[in-house]
Amino acid sequence: MNEIKIEKLNNTSNKYKVGMVSLGCDKNRVDSEIILGKMSNEYEITSDPKIADIIIVNTCGFIESAKQESIDTILEMANYKINYKCKLLIATGCLTQRYGEELGNLIPEIDIMLGVNDYNKINEFITDFIEGNKKALELLNYSDENINEGKRILTTQKESAYIRIAEGCNNFCTYCIIPKIRGKFRSRKMENIINEAKDLSENGVKEIILIAQDTTLYGSDIYEKKSLHLLIKELAKIGGIKWIRVLYCYPEEIYDELIDEIANNNKVVKYLDLPIQHISDKILKLMGRKTSKEDIINKIKKLREKISNIVLRTTFIVGFPQETKEDFNEIIDFLQEYKLDKVGVFPYSQEEDTPAAKMDGQIGDHIKSKRAEELMTIQKDVSEEINKLKIGRLYDILVEGHNGEHYYGRSYEMAPEIDANVLFKSSKSIKNGQFIKVKIVENMDYDLVGVVDYESCK
């Protein structure tokens, strides 16, 4: 191995600068923030990898496009060793957990590689590298028991933060590799989550977003019963938190106590993300989903009956093996009848080491893409119809910034990064993180335009 040296920085802190590139889902983002938190006492954190001595790429390995993005990003950052200041390149996350040895051989510029449960070793490995040029390309023994926790350096808007309440997954959907990468479902202790939320609140966070592979199963392992409703009740007692948002609730696992808590707790925004994925009973069974079309429809009806003005978001996978035109049309009919507020659509990705990848009846990419496009066109019309009904309504908006012409923010109906925004102008200065009353006056394709209701703001 060629000798590698990292020169001390000529700055007041005399610390190496660390840059992070985080890819993939919001659960991966939390991991990235925990990694930065573990490093923040020893290193200076920078958002600009061009001036970083150490670059970390936290990878995603969920589907083929995400894997390729991760590889491309690592290769891009490897060039920073030549063109910029980087002397140490670290790869972490799902892709390294899944393809560690292969990835190390493919990209020898990687100096340190960690799996999804190895982050507590990162400072030790960096020290070994700096002091002795010792690479760490072997993943540590994977543990189904570990959960990454600890101090975080937020990479989101200061007003909102994700809180991961559990790790892993027990669902074993036939198209998904996550249980093999992340391990079995395991809940975090309630007191740890509450303490984390208190720390976030003290640092100005107004909205906490609860995430896991399946949030509705929270507590079923360590407390021997579903306990998400109890967790929400405790989190609502934290003074600085104004909004509690819950994502990734598998419809078959939603239970009455949770519905009641969402309905009656003023801090819980009336918004749920339900990963439905399909509505054809045949495809649901092939996917390994533990539900049916009838059960999904009944749960949606119940949620709308019990929770006033609830907003429902979901995702669909189209082009799954053996999906016929009739199966696909069931999704179209479902969307047109039940008019879900937010819908994401993904063409099926044939992932190795999953049961679905070996199924007969694989569908061509052209058909998958065509079906995805058709479904999104239909949903665009549904969204426009729904948005027209919002004109004249008054919303509390969590302000997130100014784009030079408009302030922008979100109502309770909008989750960060995946949903639209409300745009508005104001004759008065408004700070990020402030809640302000805005009346909707115009709907665009997805964003809404409003005016500040100053009387209501008094």
Q: How far apart are CA 404 and CA 326, in angstroms?
A: 48
CA 420-423-426 angle, to 5 degrees, is: 155
Residue in the block written with tokens 């990878």: 59
Q: How far apart are CA 439 and CA 416, in angstroms?
A: 20
Give the pair of three-digit tokens for residue 384. 């426009």
Residue type, 95: L
**C-alpha to C-alpha distances, 404 to 407, 408, 410, nearest whole angstrom:** 8, 10, 17
Q: Is 176 annotated as a binding residue?
A: yes
Q: How far apart are CA 366 and CA 310, in angstroms?
A: 36
Q: Is 457 annotated as a binding residue?
A: no
Closest C-alpha to 212, from 167, 258, 153: 167
Closest C-alpha to 218, from 276, 164, 270: 164
How many residues make up the chain in this entry?
458
Give the pair of three-digit tokens for residue 21. 């590139």
Q: How far apart are CA 175 and CA 286, in angstroms?
A: 9
Q: How far apart are CA 190 and CA 197, in angstroms?
A: 11
Q: Is 86 annotated as a binding residue?
A: no
> CB atoms < 10 A from the CB of 141, how many?
8
Q: Is 249 annotated as a binding residue?
A: no
- Which residues define the annotated binding site? 25, 60, 94, 169, 173, 176
- Which residues define the annotated binding site for [4Fe-4S] cluster? 25, 60, 94, 169, 173, 176
